[in-house]
Amino acid sequence: MLTGKESGGEAPLSFTIFGEYPFVHIQTVVESAKYNSAVIVAEIAEALHLLSTEEIKRRFEQEEFKRSQLYHHLNSNNLITLELLLENFIRLKFFYGHAHENNQAVISLQVSEFGE
């Protein structure tokens, strides 16, 4: 969604959710751990800053997204889903903006289930 493609897309936005670099991890519930260095975080923050909510709406409505099996659980006709998507997009922009302002790296963990 962020890159305007069904999957992949161009850096730095393609690293926003899942990170760029592999990160060694110990916990067994973690399927994947990657990180973005502070340099990549700065690039992501800038790219997100340039991306508007109107552009996200446009990408949400495009045919490639509607055909995508990647987001099969989303109903593109559902206004509530679009509102939640936009709300989370704004939060993501704030998150990366804050991380960039504080010169922080970001670690992304993918888990199959939540622990206790």
The residues spanned by each domain of the chain are 13-111
Mean local confidence (pLDDT), 31-42: 91
Report the SS3 class of residue 25: coil
pLDDT band (50, 70, 90) for residue 51:
very high
For the entire predicted model, the pTM comes to: 0.76
Is residue 111 a contact partner of residue 31, using CB atoms and an 8 Å limit?
yes
- CA–CA distance, 49 with 47 (Å, rounded to integer): 5
Mean local confidence (pLDDT), 11-18: 80
Closest-CA residue to 106 (of 38, 9, 33): 38
Burial class (CB in 10 A: 0-12, 13-18, 19+), 3: middle
pLDDT-wise least confident of 51-60, 61-70, 86-95? 61-70
- CA–CA distance, 62 with 97 (Å, rounded to integer): 27
User: With 80 as the cut, is the pLDDT of residue 80 above it?
Assistant: no
User: With 60 as the cut, is the pLDDT of residue 76 above it?
Assistant: no
Identity of the residue numbered 57: K
